[in-house]
Amino acid sequence: MGNNKDFKVMTEVEIALTLILSVMGVIFVGIKAGIIIMITGVLILVINYNFTKRRYSEIEKLNSYLEKVLSGDYAPEILDQKEGELSILKSNIYKATTTLKYQKELLTEDKVRLANAIADISHQLKTPLTSMMVMNDLLQTEDDQNKRNEFLKTQSDQLDRMNWLIQTLLKLSKIDAGTITMKKEEVTATSIVKEIVKPFEIQMELKGINYSSFDSDMILSCDKNWTIEAIQNIVKNCIEHMGENDELKIEAEETNIYKQIIVSDTGCGIAKQDFPHIFERFYKGKNAGKDSVGIGLALAKTIISSQRGDILVESTEGVGTTFYIRFFKTII
């Protein structure tokens, strides 16, 4: 505080005023008046000095706190229970620094997620690319037309897989970035389910899966196309883990709080150790197929969550799995 120019000037002005008033008191009133004015001026000067010193001390503490924040060091809490302008300033500075710290943590987490996502994408694309390179080398030397056709079929399958992976990742990134707006509309649950199941009818027939659904007039308020995309990923996941004579059932249910579509199967179920991770991107559990990427359920969860909905799961390994796709009537 001793180096503060404004404080020095203010003190010098106060001393000068006290001396001038004391001299004027002696001249115009008398020595006693001059002494009283002098004593009063000194007391005011001392009180003001101590008060100002304390305020500057608090300001220096705030300055030190901000320097720590700016340098990235840990900054202790500065809130107190006192009243006044400085306490309000402390509170606002603390709120600002807490917000900045939280945003910094989010940015750090985003960087980690981005790095992990890039690593996962590289890994997922590496396998089909390697396979295609091998097939391409074999095609150059293979004369047997049947084998050449087989190699071409393998390449085509790998291209389809890569295309699906890239398209799915693009959808996820767009939703994460907030560039996609979910356009809610009133649709019947029955009409949505019919469109969900249609692409899988032949596959279920070939695998010998028994399918049953409901006939309901329940109305859902959702983005129809994105909701179909989400639940199709769930149905696809169910079918991949089912065998001959297993059952797939889709039902609808409504409560006072939410409306939901229930997708249940009698497949192999989800292993206990995999259960907490099933919605994590690129996670492949114990019962995952060899061509599984581990991104379908993550996409489904992201789509439903972006509509203020939720997906709950119940599963018993060796018995089956049930997915509850919920749309809340009010945002909770």
Q: Is 54 left (phi over 0), alpha (psi -120 to 50) or beta?
A: alpha
Average pLDDT over residues 224-247: 90
| Model pLDDT, residue 147 | 81
Task: State pLDDT tens for residues 80-134.
Answer: 556 566 677 777 777 777 787 788 887 887 777 667 667 766 766 776 777 778 7
Average pLDDT over residues 147-163: 79
The band of 321, judged by pLDDT with boundaries at 50, 70 and 90, is very high
Average pLDDT over residues 58-78: 69
| Model pLDDT, residue 261 | 94
Average pLDDT, the chain: 80
pLDDT of residue 62 exceeding 90: no
pLDDT of residue 247 exceeding 90: yes
| Model pLDDT, residue 75 | 57
Reduced 3-state DSSP string for the chain:
CCCCHHHHHHHHHHHHHHHHHHHHHHHHCCHHHHHHHHHHHHHHHHHHHHHHHHHHHHHHHHHHHHHHHHHCCCCCCCCCCCCCHHHHHHHHHHHHHHHHHHHHHHHHHHHHHHHHHHHHHHHHHHHHHHHHHHHHHHHHHCCCHHHHHHHHHHHHHHHHHHHHHHHHHHHHHHHHHCCCCCCCEEEEHHHHHHHHHHHHHHHHHHHCCEEECCCCCCEEEECHHHHHHHHHHHHHHHHHCCCCCCEEEEEEEECCCEEEEEEEECCCCCCCCCHHHCCCCCCCCCCCCCCCCCCHHHHHHHHHHCCCEEEEEEEECCCEEEEEEEEECCCC
Task: Give the CATH fold of the 185-328 domain.
Answer: Heat Shock Protein 90 (3.30.565)
pLDDT of residue 323 exceeding 90: yes
Residue 219 phi/psi, 5-degree rounding, is -100, 130
| Model pLDDT, residue 130 | 77
Average pLDDT over residues 313-331: 89
pLDDT of residue 191 exceeding 60: yes
| Model pLDDT, residue 136 | 80
pLDDT of residue 174 exceeding 80: no
| Model pLDDT, residue 234 | 93
| Model pLDDT, residue 85 | 67
pLDDT of residue 322 exceeding 90: yes
Domain edges within the chain: 5-76, 116-177, 185-328
Q: Which residue has the higher pLDDT, 245 or 281?
A: 245
Task: Give the CATH fold of the 116-177 domain.
Answer: Helix Hairpins (1.10.287)
The band of 216, judged by pLDDT with boundaries at 50, 70 and 90, is confident
The answer to which of 6-15, 231-240, 308-317, 319-328 has the lowest mean pLDDT is: 6-15
Task: State pLDDT tens for residues 22-42.
Answer: 777 667 777 777 777 778 777
Assess whether the region 116-177 and the region 185-328 belong to the same CATH fold: no
| Model pLDDT, residue 6 | 66
| Model pLDDT, residue 278 | 86
| Model pLDDT, residue 328 | 92
| Model pLDDT, residue 102 | 80
Distances (CA, A) of 292 to 126, 154, 161: 14, 16, 10
pLDDT of residue 272 exceeding 80: yes
Q: Which residue has the tokens 């002696």?
A: 26
| Model pLDDT, residue 248 | 94
| Model pLDDT, residue 326 | 94
